[in-house]
Structure 1
């Protein structure tokens, strides 16, 4: 078990190191805040969709009609379960400020579902499983911009279904359709190579930008004052949710690729991007920082532990 943990830690650590590089180059002024908008838009509108097209088209695991529907529903399920657990633990927060409770539920409920799991999935399982991961990401994306964001804004903002539509939500079903009709046999090799070259840029740039966002919003005094919030978020996101997700995954006869992905999702800390969304939608930013940074710091050591345990429990590795 010890050797397996060290091996998994060596796979996980570079992901956090790249994020740390993003943090450092922001603090050193190499990556300016002015560049953020264009780089994030490039990642979201070009690089990430290209990665989805590259990994989904020609993916045998996504030939099965079951994998067109079940992984997205599983993605919705992880967020819904996260909201339920976060709402229970939010009752232990100090004070009665509704903005604090809404922000806690919003940030705790959504795992880091893409930029950390993607490189881990590639190393541990390969391209076929990454394609199924994107199908799950579709469900998480839809849930993030609907039911999760509603937890933050309910009673203060009108919501529109159009806000759930983004390039990923369009690219993933499009790629699944192209895969279903055998597009890999008639798409020119030059275009396929273009998808690949653009796609491999998505994860490192996304991780660098995540580190830069942390550098922009980190507040050490808020972290020091939020020990109770960090503890509750950790017990909810890093302990309770992994146990529940892994138990469900072990009991339900999911496709083996989906089981592998759910193990990764169970092991993830809170997503980083909700810090920005919290700020835009007038949530409590210190609470978001406490949840996201607290679970992420602990996640560096918890992720390999949960992956090792989860694969053994769920898949018998």
Structure 2
């Protein structure tokens, strides 16, 4: 019950974002601009501040990376295999692949902070730093195989997008700053900290605003397959390996939060860009986000029983 109460505000803000946008408050253009504000300024500020000041000297970060990558690639492979076994075409199969493997980083950061405060948020940002570049590169590479394009222009465009992705660039800049040993710079870090603090509530509203319940039509099979991969298989692999590899309790719990996340809204954008089944992807995002209201507290409770006892 304590877990449910702690993370309930996260989902309340998501629902509020949905209600505001569907009510036309203040306007559709407002929400589109807010998406860009979060993506290009607020989240990069949060990532840079946290990564540039984090302790990267050890503490089992390598084992945490191994656990997260194992969970991600297992779920990704499950998504690809499911598409083949169900004889889906390339666009539909690519959506199942994304739905099974990708995750909503923004929700992870909010939940980790809500449950475990600054320490949880710090570890969640480091986990995102490990995952975001690898996840994006892996998914784009699989798209090139599953949905062949007429010419290489769409894939090249997607790769260029990765090279200029503000989240990835902020992670790399933070790592470079950290390795150089510059430490916190007055005014710069304080300003970015204020911006980063605004990121989480605004992006939760934007997650809700991007949900699409009206006209939600898609085959149950692909949605079910992606949900099994993302909401069951991914967290199960993470939980088992975190226990076996002896991660610190907080690292294990944050890794499990990532495993239990619904798929991310960025998957819809990539599906449109690279010829995937965008309506199916939108349905997966919406259904998984709604189902995760129930499944995430269960996985987190299991993690606390395993790791934080």
TM-score class, shorter-chain normalisation, is 0.7 to 0.9
| Closer, same or farther: CA 31–80 of 1 in aligned 2, 3 Å | farther
Identify the match of residue 152 of structure 1 among 143, 151, 158. 143
Cα deviation, residue 72, structure 1? 5.4
Cα deviation, residue 96, structure 1? 3.5
Give the superposed CA RMSD: 2.6
Cα deviation, residue 228, structure 1? 2.6
Q: Which residue of 1 aligns with 2:125?
A: 134
| Closer, same or farther: CA 73–248 of 1 in aligned 2, 3 Å | closer
Cα deviation, residue 289, structure 1? 2.6
Q: Which residue of 2 aligns with 1:26?
A: 21
Instruction: Report if aligned partners of 1:146, 1:164 keep a CA contact under 8 Å in 2.
Output: yes
2:268 aligned with 1:270: no
Give the TM-score normalised by structure 1. 0.84
Count of residues in correspondence between the two structures:
301
| Closer, same or farther: CA 221–266 of 1 in aligned 2, 3 Å | closer
| Closer, same or farther: CA 143–59 of 1 in aligned 2, 3 Å | closer
Q: Where does the alignment leave 5 or more consecutive residues of structure 2 unmatched? A: none
| Closer, same or farther: CA 92–291 of 1 in aligned 2, 3 Å | farther
2:108 aligned with 1:109: no
Q: Which residue of 1 aligns with 2:4?
A: 9
Q: Which residue of 2 aligns with 1:204?
A: 201
Give the TM-score normalised by structure 2. 0.86
Identify the match of residue 281 of structure 2 among 280, 288, 294. 288
Identify the match of residue 38 of structure 1 among 29, 33, 45. 33
Instruction: Report if aligned partners of 1:92, 1:232 keep a CA contact under 8 Å in 2.
Output: no
In 2, the alpha carbon distance for the partners of 1:71 and 1:248 equals 9
Q: Which residue of 2 aligns with 1:168?
A: 167
